[in-house]
A and B are shown apart, each in its own frame.
Chain A
């Protein structure tokens, strides 16, 4: 490593480009593992929907579609703001990145707010699965399973929203402090990728749980 090498260049890479290539590849592989984590739940959903078709269809009529719809709009908008933030970073505008990442985090908070309202409705109506299930309008062996999968999928997604918010906050603050430049902004890009994945998973969750 020459003395005038970029400060972000790690000792075991020859160039920033190679390092960025490695980081991107690593992130995409990590995103693949994230997708597979959800895949198990989606597979379980598919199996039980097949086994208890009518019950699942009924149950999805008894959750609040409008909240799901609003949250979908909120998350898609947040993907747009995150993309703007990443775009700012490629111009070397750290403050702009921080602004748009901040907006994204606000939208994520709105999402979680709606989710909290939704969850509290489920609690009040006795839709917690298993032995806590007391909801009268959808009954039968598959009813509790629908809500078990509902809480597992949306809960795991919610955890990812929180992780994504944390990542965006940290990277946003570092951007504002001038840690990145037009030539080196891979962490900003990767944070953006992660947030897009969180949105993408929701794009699958929304129709599966709320619409069909």
Chain B
């Protein structure tokens, strides 16, 4: 697929990729939100593959009931590193800091985020945090699990301190990004963008940012307390000195439960855009979708106790936390119904982003319903610390977040690079990922229900067949991801030129040139319609061949 000279001519002369300069230095010192977003995307993708490598090693170890390729201690380190890398280095920053940085200012018609220098600082804090955590991993890693439960985490001999410090620094990166996005959304909207004309992507990212700035400081303090405890033994969480280890669990989940919404709300942000663009239809129930994001962000702060059902919490507390947790299911269902209704009577293009949307919908509904089941105290006590829980949160986090990440990657790949990926290979990759994912985690639901506990490197023989199925699924998933990586890398250089608006999307971000110039729009645009309006009364959308689109 060598691009024809004619289509090459359609690439804008001056884009953020070549202006104001092209050298490495101009990237590393850039204050352009688009370049920072792209650097985040590259960094988080590296983290995804690193975390995926740990996941594969875990699955290979679990291929046979006894020891397969590693001992128990190595296995403990592997699942800790898998969790830390995937959560702190991939899922929390990937969509907000990567795609959010690239898209949010363009969707607001702004030239940049409110604090560009702070934005660059956020990226370097991410790199520093990642470097500190990687140092800890290379020098022995930790065996505590990503949750760092005390008193084990304060007494283990493994290198838990650098990993705690790394997560602490990464938290500040996350806070600064969230702060920047909130201020940008409040103060930098172009004329015509009222709150009810905000793209749904922005609404969801905004809700995410609120959680980021309100929850992350508490995690930072908690991780510091664990590090101090590990170093000096002050006894804050040590029962031998009067400390309360359950207090750690409260602190930890006060952040880490809202943190799952830091991960999943941006996924919902992507999906709201993709479903409209793929169905060529206005979103059904704009306000319901927008406000349910805020609802999830709000209720998300009052559900942390469902992680402590078996930690000695009173039945009264457990009941309340259980009910509050189910509220999240209501808000999520509002979104799901609206997305489905958006497709109804739409003109659907079954492209790769849409394929990921379909996968996302299945995983979110399935994972969400098992989540509601887990919020029921009596059922949770049966499933606590089994593979059922593992399968549940992987359905939401991998099934939800990674599908949305891949949908975003394909949907905005032309916007970011100006080129298209191969659609056929894209669909093959999507099928491999969705099938591989199902084969990996559906067996884990069954294993968990039969009582297989998490975090053991060996298991009784009766769990063998399902574990083999799970490992086989993981291999298919990995193959799919590698395939995607390969064609994405090839398309960067040799993909056909996309033109300005290959999806014929009405989203604001497609109104600027593709790829956008450094200042996003030649002059501050004035918006006269909503971001998801596909009404026939509007002018004819631009064709996929890349003719310049109208500015409404």
Contact = CB atoms under 8 A, between A and B. Distances in A.
B121 to A, nearest CB: 13
A53 B360 CA distance: 51
Contacts of A43: 251
29 contacts: A11-B112, A11-B519, A12-B110, A22-B186, A25-B182, A26-B114, A26-B118, A26-B179, A29-B183, A29-B213, A33-B179, A33-B216, A34-B217, A36-B218, A37-B217, A39-B217, A39-B218, A40-B225, A43-B251, A44-B236, A44-B251, A47-B247, A48-B242, A130-B232, A130-B234, A130-B235, A144-B242, A145-B236, A152-B225
Contacts of A29: 179, 182-183, 213
A164 B247 CA distance: 31
Interface of B: 110-112, 114-116, 118, 175, 179-180, 182-184, 186-188, 213-218, 220-222, 225, 228, 232-236, 241-244, 247, 251, 519, 524
B111 A25 contact: no
B235 A32 contact: no
Dominant SS among interface residues on chain B: helix
Contact of B242 (A26, A131, A142): A142
A48 B242 CA distance: 9
A122 to B, nearest CB: 13
Contacts of A48: 242, 244
B179 A130 contact: no
With most chain B CB atoms within 10 A of its CB, the pick from A34, A40, A141 is A40
Contact of B233 (A25, A131, A142, A152): A131
A114 interface: no
A141 B242 contact: yes
Interface of A: 10-14, 18, 21-22, 25-26, 29-30, 32-34, 36-37, 39-41, 43-44, 47-48, 51-52, 129-131, 140-142, 144-145, 148-149, 152
Contacts, number: 103
A148 B220 CA distance: 18
Contacts of A41: 221
B190 to A, nearest CB: 10
B237 to A, nearest CB: 9
A21 B188 CA distance: 10
B236 A148 contact: yes
Given A11-B112, A144-B241, A145-B242, 4 more contacts: A48-B242, A140-B242, A141-B241, A152-B236
B304 to A, nearest CB: 13
Contacts of A131: 233
B243 A145 contact: yes
Contacts of B184: 22
Contacts of B236: 44, 145, 148-149, 152
Nearest to B254: A40
B222 A22 contact: no
Contact of A36 (B115, B118, B217, B243): B217
Contacts of A25: 182-183, 186-187
A39 B235 CA distance: 19
Closest A-B pairs by Cβ, 9 of them: A141-B242, A12-B111, A40-B221, A36-B217, A12-B112, A130-B234, A22-B187, A148-B234, A37-B217
Given A29-B182, A33-B175, A44 B247 contact: yes
Contacts of A30: 179
A12 B221 CA distance: 34
A58 B524 CA distance: 64
A145 B244 CA distance: 10
Contacts of A141: 241-242
A12 B188 contact: yes
A132 B116 CA distance: 46
A34 B188 CA distance: 25
B305 to A, nearest CB: 14
A22 B235 contact: no
B174 to A, nearest CB: 11
Contacts of B111: 11-12
Given A40-B218, A148-B234, A32 B187 contact: no
A4 B182 CA distance: 30
A11 B184 CA distance: 14
A145 B236 CA distance: 6
